[in-house]
């Protein structure tokens, strides 16, 4: 089958190479001896793949390896006892191996793909939307009517968070770095847009009528202290990622003074090996698809052989919405 591999750790420009490799066995490392084999129509591209081309991601497979953590496609075969059958349209989290014609995912991380979504949208469904749902509900304890501020709001996690938050009845404020990104965030359901290089903290406090209930932060870096300052009493900052490059440090007296919380949200670490939670999140996200709230925003689309260009879009901070590789119809 066709595949793109990471062959060295020299960065997105040069670390990838096309390869013709054998199709994978129906077995996934998380469920040895069992796995859903998926004919890949679209593969999602995310920040971790960029990090992997430099050896900077926590998962460091031996070289060469096929990167890519999520796909949308059709089921070729499913393990005994699975609710899936051959030919079903699915979105699946395979962890690695998505940049190829065929990928294998655990049954508990493979979900029916609604006819409302095309394959490119399906390839942006799991990592971002499951993370967004998990961060807002399981970790952030979102309640209807609360105000959610989203950093990196035009990005993959950001747009997903805005859509899910709207679907769950929240008011949303997007923090973005440009007009173009504000447009994307508003299309994803942002009620308000504020600028990351402006007085966003004061604006957010004013727009929310006194303070934010939940900050979803995939960016980190310098703005973290202002995120804490933007909260109302009882508000929480949910830590999702560090695209800003640096891991913030908190002076914890701030939490005490204002009765606020900082909460970590590591979707992958939490749900791996928890089939029940995955089903629950998958059902909730699919319900929000049916209700029209979840519509993954696809940014740039590339053919498989242009995977390096796809990674560069993310590396150079040009991505709006989900970057995907398209492999079939």
Ligand X SMILES: NC(=O)c1ccc[n+]([C@@H]2O[C@H](COP(=O)([O-])OP(=O)(O)OC[C@H]3O[C@@H](n4cnc5c(N)ncnc54)[C@H](OP(=O)(O)O)[C@@H]3O)[C@@H](O)[C@H]2O)c1
Can you give the binding site for ligand X, defined by CB under 6 A? 46-48, 127, 131, 152, 154-158, 176-177, 181, 196, 218-219, 240-245, 265-268, 314, 317, 319
For residue 196, give the nearest of 212, 182, 208 by alpha carbon.
182
For residue 159, give the nearest of 322, 325, 323 by alpha carbon.
322
Q: Tell me the closest approach of the beta carbon of residue 280 to ligand X, in angstroms.
A: 16
Q: Tell me the closest approach of the beta carbon of residue 292 to ligand X, in angstroms.
A: 22
Considering the complex, state which of residue 102 and residue 127 has its C-beta at the smaller distance from ligand X: 127
Considering the complex, state which of residue 70 and residue 101 has its C-beta at the smaller distance from ligand X: 70
Considering the complex, state which of residue 119 and residue 200 has its C-beta at the smaller distance from ligand X: 200
Non-local (6+) Cβ contacts of 69 within 8 A are: 44, 46, 48, 49, 93, 94, 95, 96, 98, 127
Q: Tell me the closest approach of the beta carbon of residue 50 to ligand X, in angstroms.
A: 8
Contact 232, 256 (CB under 8 A): no
Question: DSSP assignment of 114-166, as one string?
Answer: PTTS-HHHHTTTIIIIIHHHIIIIIIT---TT-EEEETTTTSHHHHHHHHHHH
Considering the complex, state which of residue 318 and residue 328 has its C-beta at the smaller distance from ligand X: 318
Q: How far apart are CA 117 and CA 98, in angstroms?
A: 19
For residue 159, give the nearest of 194, 178, 197, 132 by alpha carbon.
132
Residue nearest to ligand X (CB): 155
Considering the complex, state which of residue 251 and residue 317 has its C-beta at the smaller distance from ligand X: 317
Q: Tell me the closest approach of the beta carbon of residue 10 to ligand X, in angstroms.
A: 19
Q: Tell me the closest approach of the beta carbon of residue 253 to ligand X, in angstroms.
A: 26
Q: Tell me the closest approach of the beta carbon of residue 151 to ligand X, in angstroms.
A: 7
Q: Tell me the closest approach of the beta carbon of residue 250 to ligand X, in angstroms.
A: 17
Contact 163, 148 (CB under 8 A): no
Considering the complex, state which of residue 101 and residue 182 has its C-beta at the smaller distance from ligand X: 182
Considering the complex, state which of residue 66 and residue 150 has its C-beta at the smaller distance from ligand X: 150
E strands, the chain, are 2-6, 16-20, 36-45, 70-77, 89-93, 102-105, 110-112, 147-150, 171-176, 192-195, 212-217, 231-239, 261-264, 298-303, 322-326
For residue 281, give the nearest of 291, 271, 266 by alpha carbon.
271
């Amino acid at each position: 089958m066709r595949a793109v591999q990471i062959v060295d750790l020299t960065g997105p420009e040069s670390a990838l190479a096309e390869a013709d490799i054998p199709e994978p066995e129906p077995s996934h490392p998380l469920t040895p001896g069992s796995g859903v084999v998926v004919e890949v129509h679209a593969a999602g591209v995310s920040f971790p793949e960029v990090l992997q081309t430099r050896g900077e991601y926590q998962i460091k497979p031996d070289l060469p390896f096929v990167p890519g953590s999520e796909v949308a496609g059709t089921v070729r075969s499913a393990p005994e006892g699975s609710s899936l059958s051959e030919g079903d349209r699915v979105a699946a989290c395979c962890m690695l191996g998505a940049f190829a014609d065929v990928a294998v995912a655990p049954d508990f991380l493979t979900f029916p793909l609604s006819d409302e979504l095309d394959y490119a949208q399906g390839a942006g469904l799991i990592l971002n939307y499951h993370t967004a749902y998990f961060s807002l509900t399981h970790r952030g304890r979102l309640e209807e009517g609360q105000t959610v501020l989203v950093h990196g709001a035009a990005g993959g996690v950001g747009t997903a968070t805005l859509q899910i938050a709207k679907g769950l009845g929240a008011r949303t404020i997007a923090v973005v770095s440009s007009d173009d990104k504000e447009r994307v965030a508003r299309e994803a359901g942002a009620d308000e847009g504020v600028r990351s290089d402006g007085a966003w903290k004061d604006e957010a406090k004013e727009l929310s009528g006194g303070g934010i209930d939940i900050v979803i932060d995939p960016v980190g870096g310098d703005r973290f202290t202002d995120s804490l300052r933007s909260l109302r009493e009882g508000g929480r900052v949910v830590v999702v990622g560090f695209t800003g490059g640096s891991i913030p440090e908190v002076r914890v007296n701030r939490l005490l003074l204002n009765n606020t919380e900082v909460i970590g949200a590591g979707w992958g670490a939490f749900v791996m090996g928890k089939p029940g939670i995955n089903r629950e999140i998958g059902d909730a996200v699919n319900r929000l698809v049916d209700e029209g709230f979840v519509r993954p925003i696809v940014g740039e689309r590339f053919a498989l052989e242009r995977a390096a260009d796809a990674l560069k879009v993310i590396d150079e901070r040009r991505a709006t919405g989900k970057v995907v590789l398209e492999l079939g119809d």
